[in-house]
Amino acid sequence: MKQTLNELLDARVRAALSAAGCPDAPAVIQPAGRPEFGDYQANGVMGAAKARRMNPRALATEVVEKLDLAGIASQVEIAGPGFINITLDAAFLAGRANEALADARLGVPRPAAQRVVVDFSSPNLAKEMHVGHLRSTIIGDALARVLRYLGHEVIAQNHVGDWGTQFGMLTAYLIEVEQGGEAAIALNDLEDFYRRAKQRFDEDAEFATRAREYVVKLQGGDAQVGALWQRFLDISLHHCEEVYARLGVGLTRADVRGESAYNDDLPAVVTDLQAKGLAVESEGAQVVFLDEFRNKEGEAQAYIVQKQDGGYLYSTTDLAAVRYRAGTLHADRALYVVDARQSLHFQQMFTLARKAGYAPATLQLEHVGFGVMLGEDGKPFKTRSGGTVKLADLLEEAESRAFALVSAKNPDMAEAERREIARAVGIGAVKYADLSKNRNSDYVFSWDSMLAFEGNTAPYLQYAYTRIRSVFRRAEGWDETAPVVLSDPAERLLALELARFADTLDDVARETMPHFLCAYLYELAGKFMRFYEACPVLKSEGEVRASRLRLCQLTADTLRTGLGLLGIQVLETM
RNA sequence: GGCCCUAUAGUUGAAUGGAUACAACAGCCCCCUCCUAAGGGGCAGGUACAGGUUCGAUUCCUGUUGGGGCUACCA
């Protein structure tokens, strides 16, 4: 039975605590805060002693006596009020590295598999994707990749906005520009197309009436309007797919299940809620009063599922979607990677989905929220002209800045190769800038920080990888089965970091926090850079040389895999 | 008004209740006859305020102040 490092230490320390008379005490294992405290610390003794009115130092002594870390730790010490400091045995760390090298999964254990729905990206198809869509798209993609890597069955759901009044306006405008023979040009810039359609809608009452009629026709299943709507969606989705392709995001048409897909279910949802006594009429609308949420008068807060005019809302659509995800997709866990402003909506929706029986207790429902984007002035982000930055423009700028840098560093390199490197570096920098931040925080959009290529950035990690590749291009004749042997401190620190990969992935999947993986990879790359400076690889000899090459190999494999899970490419040279 | 999020070096960010708060950028100083200097080493600099819980608080609780969001028919 494979275990992560944390699981292994946790099990051993808990066994010792149990033997010392504290059967249910948590071990509280964590990486040591300072190098002189060893590699790991177990902090559970203080709490356990407190709960049992024991002397913590005495309990720590007893736990350490019972603690079996033979072949794992070289030193176990008690410090301070009852910390247990564990220094791992170099031979054990070398063994972990050797096991990882022998395993295609780098020694990462598979947890019990779940079926996980990940709802992410979900752009509004009426407009072009802008920087505000970046977070959901890449956080969701990274989570989907990590969950898949761990062995879960992931069902991506791109819950696109493809329904509602604005599509009547857009299809009506599409007909107009087609009659003028300018449809292809007009649709080239979706943002502009929307703006013009809106202008027509606001200025021309006749057009506005026609647009409203189209909405009714569309929702009534009219074939002609439906065909126009489909064409518009096709073009809009194509725009999205160009962005996904550039970002290296794995979403396809098969993952698209937009709001329109639930259209036929909406009346049934409302009827069902009424039948269950949950939805009632109030001020002409169909409303569910949820006791769990109070309004300003202290009464149960209203959650509208059908408007006065009979129209439906995103609440209704999301209820239909959760019913589908539970009932048809049989999900064990559903993640909603959606902006934090919708937090209340999701709390209400989840609560109602449970009450209505759409989501069984066994289905974990999680709103994976993220902070809103701010400008450099700390206020909600807008460009100087008051608009938004198109995602495509950001990516273009990223590639062009990276291209200038690559060209400056490699003037003799063929342009095609420089372009390829610039693409991976530029896109990687944009993604990493976003993924490396705690998603709960609001996020300041800045061209310079988004497009930085030094320090804690994707290019730093990519650069570490190319350095390793460069070593291997020069290493002639080496033993690809040689064991890792650790002697130099820099080797040991690198091996220790490598051994933490599996725990990191567990943390990312459990907490839905991609920035844990970024922080890990940055640490790993840093440990490698120091090893690289301190320990000559190719100029060393014998088993030391072979061992160092093997460490390089595992580092490269881990960096490539980890960056791959973030959707960031590695390069042979840069 | 109520509810949610948030406040960490000059700046942008990290820190499952653990020991002397971790980085990057910007600043200053070193290191390419040495496996790619997009790198490495060093200096300097920080938890909004006031209480509380705890053996121990950036973390939990209360209050104050500042920022953002949501709060019945947009999503």
Q: pLDDT tens digits for A11-30?
A: 999 999 999 999 989 999 99
* Domain of A510, in residue numbers: 391-565
Query: Which of A373, A400, A429 is the last residue in one of the domains?
Result: A373
Complex ipTM: 0.96
Same domain, A338 and A194: no
CB within 7 A of strand B (chain A, 421-480): 421, 425, 436-438, 440-444, 446, 449, 452-457, 459-460, 463, 466-467, 469-471, 474
In a domain, A105, yes or no: no
pLDDT at res. A453? 95
The answer to whether the C-beta of A313 is closer than 7 A to strand B is yes
CB within 7 A of strand B (chain A, 533-562): 533, 535-539
Q: Report whether A498 contacts A524 (CB < 8 A).
A: yes
The mean pLDDT of A461-480, rounded to a whole number, is 94
Confidence of residue A349 (pLDDT cuts 50, 70, 90): very high
Same domain, A558 and A456: yes
The answer to whether the C-beta of A487 is closer than 7 A to strand B is no
In a domain, A12, yes or no: yes
Q: Please classify residue A264 by burial: count the beta carbons closer than 10 Å to its beta carbon, then call 0-12 exposed, 13-18 middle and 19+ buried.
A: exposed
Query: Which of A233, A253, A285 is the last residue in one of the domains?
Result: A233
In a domain, A241, yes or no: no
Same domain, A342 and A425: no
Task: Quote the distance between the C-alpha of residue A420 and its chain's center.
Answer: 25
The spacing between the Cα labelled CA in A200 and the C1' in B62, in angstroms, equals 55
Contacts of A268 (CB under 8 A, 6+ apart): none
Query: What is the per-residue pLDDT across A133-190, written as a single tens digit (0 to 9) for each?
Result: 999 999 999 999 999 999 999 999 999 999 988 899 999 999 888 888 877 777 778 8
Q: What CATH code is carried by the domain that includes residue A73?
A: 3.30.1360.70
pLDDT at res. A459? 97
The spacing between the Cα labelled CA in A518 and the C1' in B50, in angstroms, equals 37
Same domain, A473 and A550: yes
The answer to whether the C-beta of A232 is closer than 7 A to strand B is no
pLDDT at A1 over 70: no
CA–C1' nearest nucleotide, residue A48: B55
The mean pLDDT of A88-109, rounded to a whole number, is 97
In a domain, A196, yes or no: yes
Contacts of A191 (CB under 8 A, 6+ apart): A127, A128, A390
Share of chain A above pLDDT 90, in %: 81
CB within 7 A of strand B (chain A, 190-219): none
Same domain, A198 and A337: no
C-alpha to C-alpha distance for A100 and A105, rounded to whole angstroms: 7
The spacing between the Cα labelled CA in A252 and the C1' in B34, in angstroms, equals 49
CB within 7 A of strand B (chain A, 271-290): 282-285, 287
In one letter, which amino acid is A311?
G
C-alpha to C-alpha distance for A249 and A138, rounded to whole angstroms: 7
Mean of pLDDT over chain A = 93
User: What are the tokens at A79?
Assistant: 């410090």
Query: Which of A194, A213, A233 is the last residue in one of the domains?
Result: A233
Query: Which of A215, A227, A173, A175 lies closest to A198 in space, CA to CA?
Result: A173
The residues that bridge with A177 in the sheet, in sequence order, are none
The answer to whether the C-beta of A24 is closer than 7 A to strand B is no
The spacing between the Cα labelled CA in A486 and the C1' in B75, in angstroms, equals 56
The answer to whether the C-beta of A344 is closer than 7 A to strand B is yes
The answer to whether the C-beta of A78 is closer than 7 A to strand B is no
pLDDT at A389 over 60: yes
In a domain, A382, yes or no: no
In one letter, which amino acid is A221?
G
Say whether A215 sits in a helix, a strand or coil.
helix
Same domain, A411 and A559: yes
The mean pLDDT of A487-497, rounded to a whole number, is 96
Say whether A571 sits in a helix, a strand or coil.
coil
The spacing between the Cα labelled CA in A562 and the C1' in B29, in angstroms, equals 36
Same domain, A435 and A511: yes
Share of chain A above pLDDT 70, in %: 98
Query: What is the per-residue pLDDT across A319-347, written as a single tens digit (0 to 9) for each?
Result: 999 999 999 999 999 999 999 999 999 99
Same domain, A450 and A556: yes
User: What are the tokens at A241?
Assistant: 């797919």
Query: What is the per-residue pLDDT across A304-316, written as a single tens digit (0 to 9) for each?
Result: 999 998 989 999 9
Same domain, A325 and A278: yes
CB within 7 A of strand B (chain A, 516-535): 519, 522, 526, 529-530, 532-533, 535
pLDDT at A384 over 80: no
Q: Taking the CB of residue A207, how many other CB atoms lie within 10 A of it?
A: 18
Place of tokens 């289905």: A363
C-alpha to C-alpha distance for A17 and A14, rounded to whole angstroms: 5
Q: What CATH code is carried by the domain that includes residue A486?
A: 1.10.730.10
In a domain, A255, yes or no: no
pLDDT at res. A277? 95
In a domain, A461, yes or no: yes
How many domains, chain A? 4
C-alpha angle A260-A266-A269 in degrees, rounded to nearest 5: 145
Contacts of A530 (CB under 8 A, 6+ apart): A490, A493, A494
Confidence of residue A417 (pLDDT cuts 50, 70, 90): very high
The spacing between the Cα labelled CA in A374 and the C1' in B67, in angstroms, equals 11
CA distances from A370 to A74, A111, A528 (A): 43, 26, 32
Same domain, A550 and A479: yes
In a domain, A454, yes or no: yes
Query: Which of A349, A352, A346 lies closest to A273 in space, CA to CA?
Result: A352
Confidence of residue A299 (pLDDT cuts 50, 70, 90): confident
pLDDT at A476 over 90: no
What is the C-alpha end-to-end distance of chain A, expressed in Å?
40
pLDDT at res. A179? 84
List protein-proximal bases of chain B (any atom < 7 A from a CB). Answer: 1-7, 12-20, 23-26, 34-41, 54-56, 67-75
Confidence of residue A378 (pLDDT cuts 50, 70, 90): low
pLDDT at A56 over 80: yes
Q: Please classify residue A226 by burial: count the beta carbons closer than 10 Å to its beta carbon, then call 0-12 exposed, 13-18 middle and 19+ buried.
A: middle
The mean pLDDT of A52-80, rounded to a whole number, is 95
C-alpha to C-alpha distance for A568 and A430, rounded to whole angstroms: 10
Query: Which of A506, A504, A495 lies closest to A553 in space, CA to CA?
Result: A495
CB within 7 A of strand B (chain A, 106-135): 124
Q: Report whether A306 contacts A316 (CB < 8 A).
A: yes
Helical H segments across A150-275, by residue range: 165-179, 183-186, 190-203, 205-219, 223-247, 266-275
What percent of the residues of chain A are helix, what percent strand, and what percent coil, each to the nearest 5? 55, 15, 30
The mean pLDDT of A465-488, rounded to a whole number, is 94
The mean pLDDT of A413-438, rounded to a whole number, is 96
The mean pLDDT of A266-279, rounded to a whole number, is 96
The spacing between the Cα labelled CA in A43 and the C1' in B17, in angstroms, equals 10
Q: What CATH code is carried by the domain that includes residue A270?
A: 3.40.50.620
Query: What is the per-residue pLDDT across A351-371, written as a single tens digit (0 to 9) for each?
Result: 999 999 999 999 999 999 998
C-alpha to C-alpha distance for A123 and A130, rounded to whole angstroms: 9
The spacing between the Cα labelled CA in A263 and the C1' in B75, in angstroms, equals 15
The spacing between the Cα labelled CA in A343 and the C1' in B68, in angstroms, equals 14
The answer to whether the C-beta of A85 is closer than 7 A to strand B is yes
Same domain, A212 and A307: no
The answer to whether the C-beta of A405 is closer than 7 A to strand B is yes
Q: Report whether A9 contacts A40 (CB < 8 A).
A: yes
Same domain, A431 and A545: yes
